[in-house]
Amino acid sequence: MKEMPFFSDRGDTIKEYQKFFFMRAYISQKSEEFFRGQSREKLREVAEEIGYKKIQKFKKHLEEWNRLERKVPLKYLEIIGVQRPTLDFTLELDRAEFERARRGPFLPQKAILRLHPAFYTSYEFAEGTELEEAIEELKKVCREKHIRGFIEFWPVKTIGVRPDGSTYEAFNKPEVRFSQNYLIPEGSSRRAGRVGVK
Whether the model pTM is above 0.95: no
pLDDT at 190 over 90: no
pLDDT tens-digit map of 52-93: 999 999 999 999 999 999 999 999 999 999 999 999 999 999
Contact in structure between 170 and 157 (CB atoms under 8 Å): yes
Whether residues 63 and 115 share a domain: the answer is no
How many residues are there in the chain?
198
Whether residues 31 and 75 share a domain: the answer is yes
pLDDT tens-digit map of 101-132: 999 899 999 999 999 888 999 999 999 999 99
The last residue of one of the domains, among 45, 70, 101, is: 101
Q: Which structural domain range is residue 68 located in?
A: 18-101
Pairwise pLDDT comparison (191 vs 89), residue with the higher score: 89
What's the N-to-C CA distance of the chain in angstroms?
Answer: 42
The last residue of one of the domains, among 74, 101, 128, is: 101
Pairwise pLDDT comparison (50 vs 198), residue with the higher score: 50
Count Cβ atoms below 10 Å from residue 157 Cβ, excluding itself: 22
Q: Taking the alpha carbons of 176, 155, 147, 144 in that order, is the dihedral positive or negative?
A: positive
pLDDT at 11 over 50: no
Domain count, the chain: 2
| DSSP-based three-state secondary structure for 111 | strand
Q: Is residue 5 part of a domain?
A: no
Whether residues 22 and 88 share a domain: the answer is yes
Q: Is residue 180 part of a domain?
A: no
Whether residues 24 and 94 share a domain: the answer is yes
- CA atoms of 184 and 70, how far apart (whole Å): 7
